[in-house]
Every structure is written in structure tokens, then in C-alpha cells.
Structure 1
Amino acid sequence: MKQAFVLALLLISFNTTAQVLRKRTVKLMGSRFDITLVADDSLMAEHAIDTVIAEVTRIENLISDWRPDTQISQVNKNAGIAPVKVDTEVFALTERALHFSKITNGAFDISFAAMDRIWKFDGSMTEMPSPQAVKKSVEKVGYRYIVLDREHSTIFLSRKGMKIGFGALGEGYAADRCRDMMLARGIKAGIVNGSGDMSTWGKQPNGRDWSVGITNPLHKDTVFAIVPLRQSAVVTSGSYEKFVVFNGKRYAHIINPSTGYPATGVSSVTVFGPSAETANGFSTSLMVLGKEAGLKLIKNYPQYSYIMITDDGQIFSSRNLDIKKYSL
């Protein structure tokens, strides 16, 4: 759902200090993870990176919807049949996902996993799908049919053929978990970047803040602002790489799960805040809701700030994020 390319992590040259920075890039959760840690010595940093990789792998083995032996795969296999008992961690993640569905009236929905892929963004589409085909594509989608039993820690998909998936939250959740784990283990600075879902903490070895460069999708080779990150997370959702145009209207690859139609009007949304998981939920939701409804929603959550770029190149940012202050 998201595009990682809008965020360009800026690692400014380091002074010589007692601390060292180590970085490793690996494939986890089917995506690219960039792990950057600052520690007292190289061995400590490398061991910590191993721990991060092990934690992301553990989470993937719980919530992946394409690995057949995970708890979420079992939930999907038992759709319309029986509730499935899951770990408290998986149950809580599902609860938080449903909260996003409720506050967005279905613009965010983990049961999107059952949606028919009738939209093609590879250049092969020559006409709009019929209204009947669009309606049929979301017949098995609907967060209201996800039944949670907190007492027994079970998830039940009440309609046969339903599926849930955490593609929109899982990487952010994993990044947040790893940040908290590293802080608890004395790693005072780092970044866990799961395909654009970034949790950061501490500072670079030279004492400077971590920073991200923000690009305008209409001018992808140009950074127009550099924003510092202080004990923060940042996530971008974007539709600028994959879209189709019919009758002069641009349709993004991010689909509204409640209607089956692609999002329109917004090219990218970057959300900053304390949690990458929550920032991901907001960035995805704002893409689907569009400018007016999306900005109305996020204004109720002052811990989170945003930069939104519309299809016609207009840039909007929250009051608590003065984009002019960071513009180049």
C-alpha cells in the first residue's frame, strides 16, 4: 500500500566519537528492512542488529497471511467455520486495526486481503472495470464481520472466504517493537526502517538529529524539505508510481476497501508521530479518505503531524509541523 521512495534517509557525515554506527539491509516480511544502530562498539552493534532481525522474523511468523502455518493463516482458513485462538499480541494488533476501521468508517480495513484484484497498474488496463465487477470485488471485505472475543483471545471471520492481512500495519508494528527492545537493551540511538515505515530514536554519533528528506511526487528527483526526527516515527503512503488515467481522472493503486474504487486526489501523505504502526494507519487512511476528510480526521490526533501533496501539486502540512521552516 505504501511507497518507500518519498523518504530519503539523510545520514550526515559523522564526527569521530566513541560510538560506532552499523547498518544492515535485509529482506523481511517480504520487504526491504534497513537497520541502523549506534552502539559503544562494533560487536555490540552487530549483535543488536541480529536481535532486531530475529524479532521481525518472530512477528512475521505470527502475522504473515501468506505463510500457511501462521496464526493469521489459520484465522483465514477458518473463515465462516470457527473462531481461532491467537496470542495476546496478535489479538491486540487486530484490535488496533479495527479501531482504525471504525474511526475511518472502513477506509482502513485489514480484511482487504480478500479483495479481488480487478485493477491493474502495469499499463495493461484499457478501460474502467464495470460497476458490477467493482461491487463484486469487495463482497468478502468488511471489518464489521471480524469478531473478536477478548476473554478467549479468539478471532472469527464470520463470512466464508474472508481474509485478513497486516500488510498495512505489520512493518510499522515490527519497527516500533524493535525500537522499544533496543532502548531496553541500552542501544540509545538507531533507525528501523521497514520498507518506509521508520521508527527512530536518539541521535547520530555526531550529536545531530536523524533527518528525512521529503520529495514532491511531481518532482521526484528534488528534495524540497529536510525534517529532523526526534524520538519519532515517519511513514509515507504514495500513489505516484502506480496509477491509471481514465477520462482525464487519475486513479491510484491504493484501493478504498469499502467501495472497491481507487483513491483519487492525493499523491502522497507523510505522517510523523510516536508510533510507526499508527503513522502507517493514518497515512494509508488519508490517501483513501482524500484531502478534506483525511485532514479532518488527523487533526483530532495532535501527537501526529502530516505533509500531504495533492495530485495537482499542492502541499498541505499540519500546524505543529511548519514545513516552511524545513524547506530548502
Structure 2
Amino acid sequence: MHLLMNCLAAWQQQARAVLLVGLCAGGSLAAARAQGAPTVAAARPPRAYTRAAHLMGSHFTFTAVSSDDSLAWRALRAGMRETGRIDRLFSYWDSTSQVVKINRMAGIRPVVVDQEVYDLIARTLKISQLSGGAFDITFASGDKIYQFDKTEHASLPDSATVRNSVRRIGWQKVRLDPAVHSVYLPEKGMRINLAGILQGYGVRRASEIMKKMGIAGGLLNGSGDVYCWGKQADGSGWRIAIGDPARPQSVSSWLTVSDMAVVTAGNYEQYFTVAGKYYGHIINPHTGYPATGLRSVTIICPDVELADALDDAVFVLGPQVGLAMINRLKGVDATVITDDGQTLVSKGMQLNSYHSAAAATVAKTPVTR
């Protein structure tokens, strides 16, 4: 428990406003005008401003609530620029990125990286420890033996092929040197990929910049990694919908939040089937097989970066063990949808289910592996 809380502590760092003018105030204003006194223009009501872009290989939508048009657009541009900068810095594909440099030097020598890169990698390793390796950025070391083409496959690869595919995976192998902030992958063929946390990190950094610029309310959505703060322009909270894996483009449940991240991972967009059983793109780094048992995982907590990593971890751990882990973390909640369509929630989760969705069941009993 102490380890779990210490690990979590590392992270624990649209619409109108209505202006009511009474009769008395109206009379005072008329009197002031009659006397030639200067008048103050009424404050403009806040509005929602939205900008979209393709970043990190995904669709991002940023919304800022402000009564200042110029400020809103400047903040949106700044947030998008920051997300693009992070994409280039940590890209798994861009030959100039520091992640690519680390991977190229695997089994050869350590690579000195920017403090920002070092720190994010260090945080991912803490989540690996927290989750027992269910979240592991060295998953990129695995061989690509599956094709997630949404079709029926005759069978899974043979067991020997699967075992061999994960032989180089292991977060414990990553060597960090805090003195020079270097990263070393000790085996040739090892690779890291921060895709499981990068969108959350990009959204977090963008929101921090926009807040500093004076945006008191906003919602940033990086392909399902959502973070919102403040209020909508009408003063209400942000309503976030959770998709229904069994009925694409429909909603299974929703919740109203503010100053909170809502991050969802699902296996219903990238998958294949064998004998009618779904196998999604999230691989269990321990076994090499696609994680099974869940169709969707949604994490709710104040830190979108942390939530982005935890959804994959819960997916790998499965409904019982995954929710047991969430139940041990302060300020973190989750809802999951199982392969058979059940909706389960962590003990602190307040979820609004649509009539078409099955009633949520609270998973209260900790389960250990």
C-alpha cells in the first residue's frame, strides 16, 4: 500500500454567463447617462472557442471558454503548439526524436536526453512498478505477430511464436542515470514507445499553458484522452460520455466533471476475432497475447497523464485485478465494460447509466494475483 501511494503521489502535483440587470440598476444607469457621467460597457459573456488538429497520429479537439476572443484563440494555438512539440520530441517514428535515438543505441551505449524526456520515462517506470508490469513502455520490443484488421482469423499464432515475441520486453531492464539524465536499453533490439502515455502528457502540458494564459475553463480531447477544468460558458459542468463497445457511435453512460481527466481505452476499433472471440490491440507484455476480458476501460482522476497510463494497465490486468488496483489508489476511479457486456465500477465511482446500458456493479473486494 505504501508503495502504491508513493507512486501515485509522484503525479499528485460552451454556452453563456447570464448578466442580471435589475430595475434599480437600470434606473441608475439612465440617471448616469442623463447627468453626462461616463458609463462602463457591460462585460461580454463568455463563449466556447474550439480548434481541432491532427496530432500524435490522432484527432485532437481543444475548447477554451473565455469572454476575450483574442485570448481564447491565442491560448488554443499555444496549446496545440505545445502538443506538437511534445509529439516531435517523443515520437516513435520521427528520426530526429530522442526516443528514436534511445532505440537506435540499444545494446550499444546510453543516450543523454533532455530532462523532460528523462523525467517522463522515469514516471512510466514507476507506473510499471505500480501495476506489476501491466504498463510497460518496452512493449515496443515485442515482435509484431498480429494483424488487427477487424476480420476473423483461423487461429492465434502458436505458443512458441508468442513466447518468443516478448523475449526482449521488460521495463526493469531500462537503465536510467539521474546524474547525466541518460537512458540505456541494454539489449540490442529493445525499443521503447511512449504511445501509452504521450497523449495524456500532451493534453496535460497544453492545459497548463492555457491556464497560465488566463483560460478559466476548457476541455481538451486527444482521441479519447479528455481533460476539462472550470465550467462551460453557461456555468455548468462538463458532461463526458462513455461509448458503448457493443453499439458503435452510441453511449453507455456519462458523468459530469470539472478539473478532472476522463480517459478511455477500448479494443473495439483495432481487433481481430478467432472463433467469434475478440482480440484487441492491447498486448499483455508478460504473455505476448492480446489482453482479454474487457472491451473498454475508463479512468477518472485529476491527472490526465496518469489516467492515460492506467487505462492500459487495467486492460491488461483484467476486471477484478485491475479494479482492485484502482480501489487502492486515492483520487482515482474507473469504470470497465467486460467482454460479456457487464459494466463494473470502482468503489468511489458515480456513473450515470443510459436506459440501454446494464446497471453498474461496484467492485469493492480487493483481489490480488
TM-score when scaled to structure 1? 0.91
Which residue of structure 2 lines up, in the alignment, with residue 190 of structure 1?
A: 218
Distance in 1 separating the partners of 2:269 and 2:99: 30
Which residue of structure 1 lines up, in the alignment, with residue 40 of structure 2?
A: none
The answer on 1:87 being equivalent to 2:96 is no
The answer on 1:66 being equivalent to 2:86 is no
Q: Who wins on radius of gyration, i.e. which is larger? A: 2
Which of 42, 45, 59 lines up with 1:18 in the alignment? 45
Alignment of 1:249-288 (within 5 A): 249-288=277-316
The answer on 1:160 being equivalent to 2:188 is yes
Which residue of structure 1 lines up, in the alignment, with residue 228 of structure 2?
A: 200
1:259 deviates by: 1.3
Alpha carbons 1:209, 1:230 under 8 Å: kept: yes
Distance in 1 separating the partners of 2:98 and 2:207: 24
Q: Is the partner of 2:253 in helix, strand or coil?
A: strand
Which residue of structure 1 lines up, in the alignment, with residue 260 of structure 2?
A: 232
Letter in 1 for 2:228: T
Cα distance change of structure 1 residues 220 and 15 upon mapping to structure 2, 3 Å threshold: farther
Alpha carbons 2:50, 2:64 under 8 Å: kept: yes
Which of 55, 61, 69 lines up with 1:28 in the alignment? 55
1:201 deviates by: 0.7
Structure 1 stretches of 5 or more lacking a match?
1-10
Alpha carbons 1:271, 1:305 under 8 Å: kept: yes
Which residue of structure 2 lines up, in the alignment, with residue 3 of structure 1?
A: none
1:221 deviates by: 4.3
Q: Is the partner of 1:219 in helix, strand or coil?
A: coil
Q: Is the partner of 2:195 in helix, strand or coil?
A: coil
Distance in 2 separating the partners of 1:175 and 1:26: 13
1:283 deviates by: 0.7
Alpha carbons 2:53, 2:59 under 8 Å: kept: yes
Which residue of structure 2 lines up, in the alignment, with residue 6 of structure 1?
A: none
Alpha carbons 2:65, 2:217 under 8 Å: kept: yes
Alpha carbons 2:323, 2:345 under 8 Å: kept: no
Q: Is the partner of 2:264 in helix, strand or coil?
A: strand
Asked which structure has the greater RCO (Cα within 8 Å, sep 6+), the reply is 1
Alpha carbons 2:60, 2:223 under 8 Å: kept: yes
Q: Deviations over 1:120-158 (max 9, x none)?
A: 121273221011111121122111111011111010001
Which residue of structure 1 lines up, in the alignment, with residue 144 of structure 2?
A: 117
Alpha carbons 2:48, 2:233 under 8 Å: kept: yes
Alignment of 1:34-53 (within 5 A): 34-53=61-80
Distance in 1 separating the partners of 2:265 and 2:243: 12
1:220 deviates by: 3.2
- Tell me the percent identity: 37
Which residue of structure 2 lines up, in the alignment, with residue 102 of structure 1?
A: 129
Q: Deviations over 1:190-247 (max 9, x none)?
A: 1121111111111111001111112321233442322011100110011123333334
Choose 260-269 or 180-189, whichever is displaced more: 180-189
Which residue of structure 2 lines up, in the alignment, with residue 307 of structure 1?
A: 335
Aligned residues: 316
Distance in 1 separating the partners of 2:253 and 2:295: 17
Distance in 2 separating the partners of 1:29 and 1:292: 32
Alpha carbons 1:216, 1:313 under 8 Å: kept: no
1:327 deviates by: 4.6
TM-score when scaled to structure 2? 0.82
Distance in 2 separating the partners of 1:230 and 1:49: 19
Distance in 2 separating the partners of 1:21 and 1:58: 25
Distance in 1 separating the partners of 2:183 and 2:108: 11
Which residue of structure 1 lines up, in the alignment, with residue 3 of structure 2?
A: none
Distance in 2 separating the partners of 1:14 and 1:223: 26
Which of 167, 172, 183 lines up with 1:144 in the alignment? 172
Which of 231, 237, 240 lines up with 1:212 in the alignment? 240
Distance in 2 separating the partners of 1:170 and 1:134: 27
Q: Deviations over 1:286-320 (max 9, x none)?
A: 11110111111111112111111101011111222
Distance in 1 separating the partners of 2:308 and 2:212: 24
Distance in 1 separating the partners of 2:77 and 2:244: 35
Letter in 1 for 2:67: D
Alpha carbons 2:327, 2:347 under 8 Å: kept: no
